[in-house]
Amino acid sequence: MSQTVADVLWEMLAKAGVQRCYGIVGDALNPVIDGLRRNGKIEFIHVRHEEYGVFAAVADAYFTGDPVAVCGTAGPGVVHLFNGLMDARKEGAAVIAIAGDVETSIMDTAALEELNPYKFFEAASLYTGRLVNPEQVRPIVQTAILTAILEKGPVVISIPGDVASASAPSGSFESRIPCPAILRPSDGDMSRLAKMIDEAGTVAIFGGDGCRDAREEVIQLANRLGAPVGYSFRGKQWLEHDNPNAVGMTGLLGYGGAYSAMHEADLLLLLGTDFPFSEFLPGDRVKKVQVDKNPKHIGRRTAVDLGLVGDIRATVTALLKSVSAKNDARFLDKHVADTKSFHELLQHYVVKGPGIKPIRPEFLAATLSDVASYDAMFFADTGTACMWLARHINGGRNRRLFGSFSWASMANAAANAFGAQLAYPGRQTIAMCGDGGSKSSALRSNAEEIDLRAIPNSALRSAEENSW
Ligand SMILES: Cc1ncc(C[n+]2csc(CCOP(=O)(O)OP(=O)(O)O)c2C)c(N)n1
């Protein structure tokens, strides 16, 4: 039998590094999943709700750096993918959604379960291809793969059953994936940045997820400048541990000296962060420089005096060649001392914890942090669990902290943990789930290996107290 379109789809995805596909099978997807079975290189992870599958895929893709597939049968099954794909977009996870579609002969006739994928996925998907002719298979799948991997986000391939089972065209289906380009600001902007830093009496750094591959460089820069280093929730896992200049987080979840350091510095360096709460960023008194590989982030949350487009690692490495050291440590010492006293304050319910019933979440989280393995992966549901993750879980070189940081969907943590556990079997995986999040979901899966413990407060606490 010649190859079908579905065979080519899975062959190309497997070559691109896809190892798992999460979803529910049936209807239009049957010939697609039959192709996955024939291919044999990609594991099908059956979940009870498609949204659970996508949240699992987001963590899987984010941690491994490999693309991960998800699937939904057609119409309503495909709709269930949406919330998780929005999360993938916001978290920058390469998730490739295979969306079943109605047969081509009944398209645009308001057929049962028909859904226009272009309109429906517009907000979530970086690229949506509708495969209505076998000849499209190579270019559509190739574009989807490259977009997901290089632009780091979700894409959708919509595929009707009759096209999936049709014979594929002949030719090569090799998929070449270039490595991501390295972006560095222009020499002129680099000189301006070095001059601003040299002229500033005091400098503070605030870093985000863009520092993921630049931890050592940012810490070296901070040491050279005597700069306190604050971080966003997403930046905490890269910049907090083993960093003598760490001063905690700002914002609603914040702690430590980050807020005051950022407001009292002469110059603030915003590195790889799109921290969305402008009201926690300093006003015009503080000069601000922002560096980000995504130009859309520059100046979006606060006016900046200089904006540079570049990878944090490449930019900071270049900067280290030209900036001079600052020798006055008073600014750093003050904010590090503030951070230390804040941490002592945070110990209140941890120290009293053993005597308090019901158990305090601060004590629970601090105990988890103490006893968890050196490479544990922690997940927090959107809700008060984020507070405990931010304030009481210590990161480490090999520890990972994750949540629905930028989309802030409820009920993410158990599914995230499920995906991470499949990607790293045997590694300790801890999900801190809200009781609301746990109950709200039809989203449980066959994640029997996860010991689920909800944080019970009989309330949707954070929804009552804040707007997320
Ligand atoms: C899918 C979804 N629904 C609703 C919300 C709004 N929301 C954010 S946190 C929250 C409450 C979560 O309750 P729970 O899981 O019990 O955690 P708690 O904050 O009480 O610890 C709600 C309703 C959301 N972010 N996502």
Confidence of residue 300 (pLDDT cuts 50, 70, 90): very high
User: 53 in ligand 1 pocket by Cβ < 6 Å?
Assistant: no
Ligand 1: atom nearest CA of 434 is 15
Contacts of residue 123, Cβ cutoff 8 Å, sequence gap at least 6 = 86
Residue whose CA is at the smallest distance from ligand 1 atom 21: 384
Query: CA torsion angle for 288, 289, 291, 296 (degrees, to 10)?
Result: 60
Spatial contact of 375 and 429, defined as CB atoms under 8 Å apart:
no
**What is the reported pLDDT for 436?**
83
DSSP assignment of 97-123, as one string? EEEEE--GGGTTTT-TT---HHHHTTT
% of residues, the chain, pLDDT over 70: 93
Contacts of residue 94, Cβ cutoff 8 Å, sequence gap at least 6 = 61, 65, 66, 67, 68, 88, 148, 149, 152, 153, 154
Confidence check: pLDDT of 468 > 50: no
**What is the reported pLDDT for 467?**
33
Nearest to 63 by CA among 419, 396, 390: 419
**What is the reported pLDDT for 450?**
55
Beta bridge partners of 453: 432
Query: How close is the Cα of 437 to the center of ligand 1, in Å?
Result: 6
**What is the reported pLDDT for 157?**
98
* Model pLDDT for residues 343-384, shown as the tens digit of each residue: 999 999 999 999 999 999 999 999 999 999 999 999 999 999
User: If DSSP codes are grouped into helix, strand and coil, which group holds residue 87?
Assistant: helix
**What is the reported pLDDT for 299?**
98
User: 456 in ligand 1 pocket by Cβ < 6 Å?
Assistant: no
Confidence check: pLDDT of 448 > 90: no
* 175, HSE (Cβ side, Cα atoms, 13 Å): 24
List the domain boundaries for the chain.
5-164, 187-330, 347-466
User: If DSSP codes are grouped into helix, strand and coil, which group holds residue 202?
Assistant: coil
Amino acid at 223: N
Confidence of residue 438 (pLDDT cuts 50, 70, 90): confident
Q: Which two three-digit tokens encode residue 323? A: 């900036």
Nearest to 185 by CA among 275, 293, 267, 268: 293
* Model pLDDT for residues 49-75, shown as the tens digit of each residue: 999 999 999 999 999 999 999 999 999
Ligand 1: atom nearest CA of 461 is 20
Fold of domain 187-330: Rossmann fold (3.40.50)
Query: How close is the Cα of 381 to the center of ligand 1, in Å?
Result: 8
Domain 5-164 carries which CATH code? 3.40.50.970
The reply to whether CATH 1.20.1070.10 applies to domain 347-466 is no
Confidence of residue 149 (pLDDT cuts 50, 70, 90): very high
Mean pLDDT in residue range 170-190: 92
Contacts of residue 372, Cβ cutoff 8 Å, sequence gap at least 6 = 378, 399, 428, 430
87/58 Cα distance (integer angstroms)? 7
Amino acid at 283: G
**Cα four-point dihedral sign 372, 238, 262, 293:** negative
* Model pLDDT for residues 385-410, shown as the tens digit of each residue: 999 999 999 999 999 999 999 999 99
Long-range contacts of 460-468 (CB under 8 A, 24+ apart): 460/383, 460/434, 460/436, 461/383, 461/384, 461/434, 462/382, 462/383, 462/384, 462/386, 462/434, 463/383, 463/436, 466/252, 468/382, 468/408
Contacts of residue 330, Cβ cutoff 8 Å, sequence gap at least 6 = none
* Model pLDDT for residues 409-425, shown as the tens digit of each residue: 999 999 999 999 999 99
Query: CA torsion angle for 97, 102, 108, 112 (degrees, to 10)?
Result: -110
User: 462 in ligand 1 pocket by Cβ < 6 Å?
Assistant: yes
Instruction: Give the least confident one: 7-16, 96-105, 173-182.
Output: 173-182
Confidence of residue 37 (pLDDT cuts 50, 70, 90): very high
Residue 159 phi, psi dihedral angles, 5° rounding = -140, 120
Phi-psi region of 373 (alpha: psi -120 to 50; beta: other; left: phi over 0): beta
* Model pLDDT for residues 306-340, shown as the tens digit of each residue: 999 999 999 999 999 999 999 999 999 999 999 99
**Cα four-point dihedral sign 10, 16, 20, 23:** negative
Query: How close is the Cα of 379 to the center of ligand 1, in Å?
Result: 15
Degrees (nearest 5) of the Cα angle 198, 301, 84? 125
- Tokens 């998800």 -> residue: 70
Across the chain, mean pLDDT equals 94
Mean pLDDT in residue range 422-439: 91
Confidence check: pLDDT of 190 > 70: yes
Q: Which two three-digit tokens encode residue 346? A: 């945070």
User: 460 in ligand 1 pocket by Cβ < 6 Å?
Assistant: yes
Ligand 1: atom nearest CA of 455 is 21
Between the CA of residue 61 and those of 64, 67, 89, what are the distances in Å?
Answer: 5, 6, 12
Q: What is the pTM of this model?
A: 0.94
DSSP assignment of 119-156, as one string? HHTTTT-SEEEE--SGGGHHHHHHHHHHHHHHTTS-EE
Query: How close is the Cα of 467 to the center of ligand 1, in Å?
Result: 10
Q: Do domains 5-164 and 347-466 have the same CATH topology?
A: yes
User: 389 in ligand 1 pocket by Cβ < 6 Å?
Assistant: no
Starting at the earlier edge strand, list the strands of the sheet with 306-309. 246-249, 229-231, 203-207, 267-271, 287-292, 306-309
% of residues, the chain, pLDDT over 90: 91
Residue whose CA is at the smallest distance from ligand 1 atom 5: 410
Buried residues in 146-169 as b, exposed as e (16+ CB within 10 A): bbbbebbbbbbbbbbbbbbbbebb
423/352 Cα distance (integer angstroms)? 37
